[in-house]
């Protein structure tokens, strides 16, 4: 597939003619929220096999081939030209489909209340064909080792029908907050810990979970080794059942990184013990903080380049957001809260306010500046085809296991199109 960035005054009809696809195909593939009013800077995924490239000044078949990871001979063959033929600026070349690699994909889905909403179940159904793992979030462990279940609705059935591994995600939250005291009890009281493990086994068998995913956060630094020992014990127990064990890890850049989110997460030990990890490489830009890209490529890269020195690369799922935020300016951290929005909503905001979508080449993320009806200024950072492709390229460069999405429920159709273009999704 190809990513096309809309130019001023371009229409769906013009773009469809350029790539020889129908306007309906283009609209449907991107689920365009603004088919009659495209926004300058809007990224579209063109639903074709391979892509087209228009020759620019200084190009040669060799330089174009290197750019698209093919050979000059192959480019000449598929375009019916001589390998020695001079290229004219503006000449249209067909680029063969990129080589796909195997990868695994996980997505969390977070029900609220007593039931799973129709919207969340529909979102899970749409995503499940592209997933290896489906992770309802989350079971909560209590101080006596018992478990509080989230609503599951039809999620187990959706996972089964799509050959997804159903993931039992478990966290150490109390009243909506991660609790270091709860973590201390579970990790250091052996009697309660054994009850906890027994309850996991019983629940996993009841619902058909095949991966037990431990998301213990904000643990006390002194419980680091106790956490490692717990994971070893859990791995022995769950391996007998034929289940995976995975963990969620804070985005660290060094072994000795300080801070209550980081210190109890031992990358090297987790890499040795568990089957795979999800590294939470998102939320640099978050609802309570100043406006910035949610997962800017530079800090994401820094975390993952450190991670592969401690954890086998094929045990790492890169964390990725499926959403953005809309900040009202001026924004006061600790007082104001940004609104979570989908990429589709971000595009519609730009169309409604007649503002372009800009792209930050450093963060590798799109953003919008606009003024609302009350004359208040806003900054929106979100995801598009370009930002996701940048992450897919990094995933392949570092030879990672795959990607994990937080979270389903906000529409981003381009992501699933680009998975198909880049990867063979592994099923278990």
CATH number at residue 163: 3.20.20.80
**Same domain as 183, residue 309:** yes
What average pLDDT does range 404-417 have in this prediction? Answer: 97
**Same domain as 232, residue 189:** yes
**pLDDT for the residue 340:** 97
**pLDDT for the residue 374:** 97
**Same domain as 59, residue 192:** no
Residues 6 or more apart in contact with residue 36 via CB below 8 angstroms: 12
Last residue of a domain, one of 95, 128, 154: 95
The model's pTM? 0.95
pLDDT band at 1 (very low <50, low <70, confident <90, very high): confident
**Same domain as 198, residue 157:** yes
* Residue 354 within a domain: no
Model confidence at 99: pLDDT above 90: no
* Residue 107 within a domain: yes
**pLDDT for the residue 257:** 97
What average pLDDT does range 406-421 have in this prediction? Answer: 96
pLDDT band at 212 (very low <50, low <70, confident <90, very high): very high
What are the structure tokens assigned to 258, written together? 């300080």
The per-residue pLDDT for range 172-206, each reduced to its tens digit, is 999 999 999 999 999 999 999 999 999 999 999 99
**Same domain as 170, residue 137:** yes
Are 204 and 237 in contact by the 8 Å Cβ rule? The answer is: no
* Residue 134 within a domain: yes
Q: Per the residue annotation, which of 121, 217, 263, 383 is the catalytic one?
A: 217
What average pLDDT does range 49-74 have in this prediction? Answer: 93
**Same domain as 154, residue 43:** no
Last residue of a domain, one of 65, 95, 125: 95
* Residue 329 within a domain: no
Give the C-alpha separation, 318 to 401, whole Å: 8
The per-residue pLDDT for range 323-355, each reduced to its tens digit, is 999 999 999 999 999 999 999 999 999 999 999
* Residue 233 within a domain: yes
**Dihedral angle computed from the Cα positions of residues 73, 78, 79 and 80, in that order, rounded to the nearest 10 degrees:** 80
**pLDDT for the residue 113:** 86
Model confidence at 264: pLDDT above 90: yes
**Same domain as 7, residue 141:** no
Give the C-alpha separation, 275 to 235, whole Å: 9
**Same domain as 105, residue 89:** no
DSSP letter, residue 164: P
Angle at 427 between CA 31 and CA 240, to 5 degrees: 140
What average pLDDT does range 34-45 have in this prediction? Answer: 97
Q: Any catalytic annotation for residue 373?
A: no
pLDDT band at 382 (very low <50, low <70, confident <90, very high): very high
Residues comprising the chain, all counted: 428
- Domain at 81, CATH number: 3.10.350.10
* Residue 120 within a domain: yes
* Residue 347 within a domain: no
What average pLDDT does range 384-404 have in this prediction? Answer: 98
Burial class of residue 397 in the structure, from the number of CB atoms within 10 Å of its CB (0-12 exposed, 13-18 middle, 19+ buried) = exposed
**Same domain as 185, residue 59:** no
**Same domain as 41, residue 167:** no
pLDDT band at 69 (very low <50, low <70, confident <90, very high): confident
Q: What is the mean pLDDT of the chain?
A: 97
Count up the domains in the chain and report the number: 2
**Same domain as 141, residue 36:** no
**pLDDT for the residue 307:** 98
**pLDDT for the residue 386:** 98
Model confidence at 271: pLDDT above 90: yes
Angle at 255 between CA 254 and CA 261, to 5 degrees: 85
Range of the domain at 89: 2-95
* Residue 272 within a domain: yes
Bridge-based pairing of strands 316-321 and 324-328 is: unpaired
Q: Is 208 left (phi over 0), alpha (psi -120 to 50) or beta?
A: left
CA-based end-to-end distance of the chain = 27
**Same domain as 127, residue 8:** no
pLDDT above 90 covers a percentage of the chain that reads 97
Last residue of a domain, one of 95, 113, 128: 95
What are the structure tokens assigned to 374, written together? 């009350």
H or E segment to which residue 110 belongs: none
The per-residue pLDDT for range 110-158, each reduced to its tens digit, is 998 899 999 999 999 999 999 999 999 999 999 999 999 999 999 999 9
Angle at 12 between CA 11 and CA 16, to 5 degrees: 120
pLDDT band at 105 (very low <50, low <70, confident <90, very high): very high
Long-range CB contacts for residues 233-237, cutoff 8 Å, separation at least 24: 233/193, 233/197, 234/197, 234/200, 235/273, 235/274, 237/197, 237/201
């Amino acid at each position: 597939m190809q990513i096309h960035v809309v130019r001023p005054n371009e229409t769906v009809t013009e773009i469809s003619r350029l790539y020889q696809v129908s306007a309906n195909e283009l609209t449907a593939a991107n689920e365009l929220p603004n088919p009659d009013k495209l926004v300058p800077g809007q990224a579209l995924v063109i639903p074709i096999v391979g892509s087209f490239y228009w020759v620019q000044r200084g190009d040669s078949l060799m330089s174009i081939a290197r750019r698209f990871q093919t050979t000059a001979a192959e480019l000449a063959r598929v375009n019916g030209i001589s390998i020695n033929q001079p290229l004219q600026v503006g000449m249209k070349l067909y680029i063969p489909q990129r080589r796909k690699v195997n990868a695994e994909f996980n997505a969390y889905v977070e029900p609220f209340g007593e039931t799973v909403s129709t919207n969340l179940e529909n979102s899970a159904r749409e995503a499940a064909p592209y997933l290896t793992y489906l992770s309802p979030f989350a079971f909560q462990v209590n101080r006596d080792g018992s478990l509080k279940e989230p609503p599951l609705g039809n999620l187990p059935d959706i996972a089964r029908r799509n050959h997804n591994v159903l993931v039992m995600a478990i966290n150490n939250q109390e009243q909506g907050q991660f609790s270091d005291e709860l973590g201390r009890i579970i990790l250091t009281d052996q009697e309660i810990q054994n009850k906890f493990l027994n309850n996991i086994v019983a629940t996993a068998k009841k619902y058909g979970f095949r991966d037990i995913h431990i998301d213990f956060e904000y643990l006390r630094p002194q419980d680091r080794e106790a956490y490692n020992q717990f994971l070893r014990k859990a791995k022995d127990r769950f391996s007998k059942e034929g289940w995976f064990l995975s963990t969620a890890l804070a985005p660290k850049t060094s072994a000795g990184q300080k801070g209550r989110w980081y210190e109890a997460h031992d990358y090297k030990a987790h890499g040795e013990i568990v089957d795979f990890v999800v590294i939470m490489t998102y939320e640099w830009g978050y609802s309570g903080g100043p406006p910035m890209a949610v997962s800017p490529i530079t800090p994401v890269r820094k975390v993952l380049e450190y991670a592969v020195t401690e954890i086998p690369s094929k045990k790492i799922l890169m964390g990725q957001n499926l959403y953005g935020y809309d900040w009202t300016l001026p924004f006061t951290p600790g007082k104001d809260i940004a609104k979570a929005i989908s990429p589709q909503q971000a595009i519609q905001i730009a169309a409604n306010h007649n503002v372009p979508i800009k792209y930050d080449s450093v963060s590798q993320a799109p953003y919008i500046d606009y003024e609302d009806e009350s004359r208040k200024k806003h900054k929106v950072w979100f995801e598009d085809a370009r930002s996701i492709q940048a992450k897919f390229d990094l995933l392949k460069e570092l030879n990672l296991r795959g990607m994990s999405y937080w979270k389903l429920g906000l529409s981003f159709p381009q992501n699933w199109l680009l998975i198909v273009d880049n990867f063979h999704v592994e099923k278990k």
